[in-house]
Amino acid sequence: MTEPHFEHRIAAAVVPVGRLLVRNPFDLTPIATVNQVDQAGVEQALAIAQRLFRDRAGWLPAHQRIAILRRAAELMEERAEALALEAAREGGKPLQDSRVEVARAIDGLRNCAELPRSAGGREIPMGATAASEGRLAFTTHEPIGPVVAISAFNHPLNLAVHQVGPAVAAGCPVVIKPAEDTPLSCLRLIDLLREAGLPAGWAQALMTDSLATAEALATDPRVAFFSFIGSARVGWHLRSRLAPGTRCALEHGGAAPVIVDRDVDLDRIVPLIAKGGFYHAGQVCVSVQRVYADPEIAVPLARALAAAGAAMPVGDPSAETTAIGPLIRPAETERVHAWVQEAIAAGAELIGGGQTLSATCYAPTVLLDPPEDARVSTQEIFGPVILVYRCANRQDAIRRANALPFAFQAAVFSQNLDFALHTARQLDAAAVMVNDHTAFRVDWMPFAGLRQSGLGTGGIPYSYRDMQVEKLLVLRDDGRG
């Protein structure tokens, strides 16, 4: 059977230069092909976006943008099951979790629709000096200009909503390049927005034929705001190449730390930590990775986590019972296994897992006390691996948790309020969860990677603000009225 083919979503008759084959990461079977464009296609998309932005008389009024976003959410809700299954098939996230992703994306569009009526300007005080007397000053907001987004594979629909939705809400034309592994969900989102009434040029999507073409898209001087979700290596490189004046937000990853006090109830915390570490095969930028525990409970905790992982069915993400799906590519499975074996050879104790189950599936793995200089301890694993370390005391745990050049989300488990608050204040993190895992997120909260983990603040309302400029108006009363 021939796989379905997806055209690019550029609002012009651009001739494609190739086709990208999209595979199911579980069994590597082809599921679709997608058009690719070269720099001529990028030029067309950016020219359309720039032309729309420059025509102020043609800007979409707020009430129209609100109606479009609301209607798109309704359409997505009507097709939620099909979208969840497609996301599971292209990205490998189990169907039960892909359904949650689609529900979040629907709510995200509704969140975007609320923003134009809830975010306004402010008065700037005047009259405090003689020079400012007789003036009234206030701010308004306008779209910043063309937005370019490059997205990641691990949440193919919801991440696209986080990048495209705020741009539509703010009145910015947007061009998005989804991840090569998972373009289908993003293309569906663009189609839903257009079906909901968004003129085609205001939201375009494309797949590039090369990294050079993708870089040309991001670094073009017409780009007013660049939104990137992906690896730190690529994100920081692109930021260094941005045109003067282009603002940006970068969301990378980390090696999220968890500190566990001795007073915890393992039966209550193990399911949370296991979910936070093994969810989506660990392919989440804030997955639980490093767990620092009191020596009295470290070994029982590690064994309980291994048992929890062993009880999670690994396999076909489209199956109802699957809890952990594949890694996105065979090379990632090989890399994770190499890192685990390297840590074991250097002295880590394997508590559970530690083996490949197929070309793309890896067993949920728990290691006890891997060396602090091992790659599993110093780099983002992005696989279903949880590390447990015995720590002499709380200060030792905090020191080790803060030792890496990443800082994103962290967690503390304790029934002692003083322990929890003191530890949370000492952790280098943009967010600290108390008695919850590091991967907790709702889409309206700030979501910020610090240090090498990113730049700027994600979250739908925060991206919306980034995609606007605050314009000051000063009215002078000359006293003749």
Active site residues: 251, 285
- Determine the Cα–Cα distance for residues 147 and 159; give it in Å rounded to an integer: 15
> Encoding tokens for residue 472?
């000051």
Residue-wise burial string across 251-271, b where 16 or more C-beta atoms lie within 10 A, e elsewhere: bbbbbbbbbbbeebebeebbe
| Total residue count of the chain as it appears in this document | 481
- Determine the Cα–Cα distance for residues 158 and 434; give it in Å rounded to an integer: 25
- Determine the Cα–Cα distance for residues 175 and 262; give it in Å rounded to an integer: 50
- Determine the Cα–Cα distance for residues 369 and 366; give it in Å rounded to an integer: 10
> Encoding tokens for residue 125?
């005080």
The CA-atom distances, in angstroms, between 357 and each of 148, 363, 385, 416, 443 are: 38, 6, 14, 40, 33
How many CB atoms lie under 10 A from the CB of residue 63? 10
